[in-house]
Structure 1
Amino acid sequence: MKVKMKGYWLIALMLLSISQFSDAATPEQEINHLIDFVAKSDAVFIRNGTEHSSQDAAEHLAMKYRKATRYAKTAEKFIENLASKSSWSGKPYKVRLSNGSLLNAKDWLSNELKEYRRNQHIHN
């Protein structure tokens, strides 16, 4: 009887572990969240010395993602390879927040990804 109970507990723990993994956001969901985050921000994006609205920046990132998905297998790779610098000039993208702070897009997006994952973990 003890062997059967241990078996049931083991199965229950395995199912719980599997359900935890299935609730995690996929890389595509995380990347789409980041693009949506950019679109809804009130930030000015500076790309190759030119300022762009948050909506224009989000459209640009979405276009880069569609054309170069192979370089963005994870949200981190999306940030590193597509969303943080110009593929044309290599210059880092900058973000000017509504409070006037100027940040590297890489840092800003990486922080948002951490926050998104933390919130996903809390809600799951």
Structure 2
Amino acid sequence: MKQLLLVLSLFSFMALSADTTVVDQEIEFLITSVEQSGCSFHRNGDNHSAERAADHLRLKLRRGKKYADSAEHFIDRLASKSSWTGKAYYLECEPGKLIEVSPWMNEKLASYRQQQANQK
């Protein structure tokens, strides 16, 4: 009986690890998408480079990992607005055209998932 419980526990842990790996990959894809976008990142009234934005998002992820148990939660809880002011984050990919980060990331995530599904 103990052996059965051990085996079941091991399989449960492996399943959770696999899910976490997918979530981590999706979140890293989103952060890298910001980093490589060439867009400026508008946060709390200040503009930042795409690289600095990615650094900021990775810092928020390190500090708030428990709130990012899915890529959607990462977007909603950490990546799309300031935890201090509650103000939305924006990307400026074309001069004068601001795009909210949340829908931009959700679109990127959907495309990424579709690409992953097509590779299987």
Preserved CA contact (<8 Å) 1:42 1:98? no
1:45 is the counterpart of 2:56: no
CA-based RMSD of the aligned residues comes to 1.4
- List runs of 5+ in structure 1 lacking aligned partners: 1-21
With the length of structure 2 as denominator, give the TM-score of the two structures: 0.80
1:114 is the counterpart of 2:92: no
- List runs of 5+ in structure 2 lacking aligned partners: 1-17
Q: Using the alignment, how far apart are the partners of 2:42 and 2:88 within structure 1?
A: 9
How much identity, in percent, do the aligned residues show?
42
SS for the counterpart of 2:113 is helix
Q: Count matched residues.
A: 101
Task: Report Cα offsets for 1:3-47 as digits up to 9, x if no partner.
Answer: xxxxxxxxxxxxxxxxxxx7xx71111001111111111101100
Letter in 2 for 1:63: L
Q: 1:60 aligns with which of 50, 56, 65?
A: 56
Q: Using the alignment, how far apart are the partners of 2:62 and 2:24 within structure 1?
A: 11
Q: 1:29 aligns with which of 11, 25, 29?
A: 25
TM-fit CA distance, 1:100: 4.5
Q: Using the alignment, how far apart are the partners of 2:56 and 2:71 within structure 1?
A: 16
With the length of structure 1 as denominator, give the TM-score of the two structures: 0.78
Q: 1:92 aligns with which of 88, 91, 109?
A: 88
Q: Using the alignment, how far apart are the partners of 1:122 and 1:100 within structure 2?
A: 35
TM-fit CA distance, 1:49: 0.6
